[in-house]
Chains A and B, each alone.
Chain A
Amino acid sequence: MNDTFEDRLLAQLKAEIVAREARTRVPAVRRIARPRYLAGAAVAAAAVAAAVPLVVGGHTPAYALTKNPDGSINLKINEFRDPDQVERDLATMGVPADITYLPLGKRCADGRAPFVEGDRTSFAKKDLESRDPAVQARIRRATENLASSKAIRPENGITIHPEFIGPGQIVMIEVNENPVEPDTGHPGVAWQFSGRLAEGPVQPCRVVDDPTAFEIGNATPPPGS
């Protein structure tokens, strides 16, 4: 594809167009995914999950692991292409982590690690499946208060707040990147991640299909927000 200078320049210019369009678009659509770690009926722990419908393509340098003045740590998607390195880098910052990098449409099977106490909620299964905006808003608010949601936030990429990580807990993050870069002509999720705190140890990822990854919604805010 990118054989000549002209082709490479075109790719950069198109990325610039997408970036400009993204900047002028009103707030980035963020999808709070259906908490898929909810295995049981009543006892539930939710995961922080966010999808970024359209991020700028381009080939920015891979490095992006930054410590913010408030002590939080910021991670950028490219970094995840080498999950082992991210784990090592995070370890040097005092954060034990388990990072999995998968293509969009795949995910790790549930049950890799025990939930932490702070993630326990008591929504009934029918609430979790409810389409009632009021119920969904209540679940979303409760989800935002979970220990995992405080520790792992979909801010500026992914931001980890170590102050909410309890002793012995592990930051478990799964990143799914769309191998096909979405653009304005072919909208879709560029990448998404889900993450939660886990009481160790974490079992290896057993990869399963995730057909919901390709539902991109209609760019309206979640109900009740």
Chain B
Amino acid sequence: MRRRQTGPADFACDPDAFEAFYRRHVDAVTRFLARRVDDPHTVADLTAEVFLAVLDSAHTYRPDRGSEIAWLYGVARNTVLAQRRRTARELRATSRIAGRRLLNTDDIARLEERVDAESPARLALEAMADLPDGDRALLELVAVDGLSPAEAAAALGIRQGTARVRLHRARRQVQRFPGVMELIGGAK
């Protein structure tokens, strides 16, 4: 969904503009996270982290360089990578908003469903684990998260030409891993 873009500064400074941005993307963000972690509490913590990171780095968003979702997936990806470098305990201790404390039982059930729904994607991501980092990052964003190659390039801050080369290489390599193409829907 591409809507009229508000300026980059707007959604970090103006609560109303932020609300619009948040509501456009919060589902996509929790799904993105549910493809990478399988625990609803961690999904909640990371959702809070991602949007706090949005406030920190909104000034880096340039509408002319890509869609909001591409930029946001870039932010989310960095947040997940940072989280993997830390333990969950550290994450909670340093976060300004503890996402999991905002959960009630209905939310947990809903996030569990979401985590379950994304289990094929998690399998696909696991299957790609052995690809070189740069190639894998592109394949993940395109084949699993559904970005276009151009958007994935914007999310990773690389040139579109570079992205195409890496994506091509990743697809070729991934064919050697049995079952991965089926998991990611092959045709993509």
Interface residues of A (CB under 8 A from B): 4-6, 8-10, 12-14, 16-18, 20-21, 183-185
Contact = CB atoms under 8 A, between A and B. Distances in A.
Contacts of A184: 13-15
Contacts of B55: 13, 16-17, 20
Contacts of A14: 15, 18-19
Interface footprint category on B: 20 to 34
Contacts of A4: 106-107, 110
A130 to B, nearest CB: 39
A13 B51 CA distance: 8
B69 interface: no
A21 B15 CA distance: 10
Contacts of B103: 5
- Report whether over half of chain B's contact residues are helix, strand or loop; otherwise say mixed: helix
B18 A8 contact: no
Given A13-B52, A18-B15, A6 B26 contact: yes
Interface stretch (B31-39, B73-81, B94-102): B94-102
A5 B104 contact: yes
Contact of A13 (B18, B110, B111): B18
B48 interface: yes
B177 interface: no
Interface in B1-51: 12-16, 18-19, 22-23, 26, 30, 44, 47-48, 51
B48 A9 contact: yes
Contacts of A183: 15
A20 B56 CA distance: 10
Contacts of B22: 10, 13
Contacts of B107: 4-5
Contacts of A13: 18, 22, 48, 51-52, 55, 97
- Report whether over half of chain A's contact residues are helix, strand or loop; otherwise say mixed: helix
Per CB-CB distance, the 5 closest pairs between chain A and chain B, nearest first, are A5-B107, A8-B102, A14-B15, A12-B97, A6-B26
A9 B102 contact: yes
A73 to B, nearest CB: 28
Contacts of A20: 13, 55
Contacts of B12: 17
B111 A5 contact: yes
Contacts of B44: 5, 9
Contacts of B52: 13, 16
A16 B48 CA distance: 11
A15 to B, nearest CB: 9
A8 B107 CA distance: 11
B111 to A, nearest CB: 7
A5 B111 CA distance: 10
Interface string B97-121: 1010011101100110000000000
A156 to B, nearest CB: 21
A217 B187 CA distance: 63
A9 B18 contact: no
Given A5-B44, A20-B55, A12 B13 contact: no
Contacts of B30: 6
Contacts of B99: 5, 9
Nearest to B104: A5
A160 B79 CA distance: 44
Contact of B102 (A12, A17, A18, A21): A12
A5 B100 CA distance: 9
A6 B106 CA distance: 12
Contacts of A10: 19, 22-23, 26
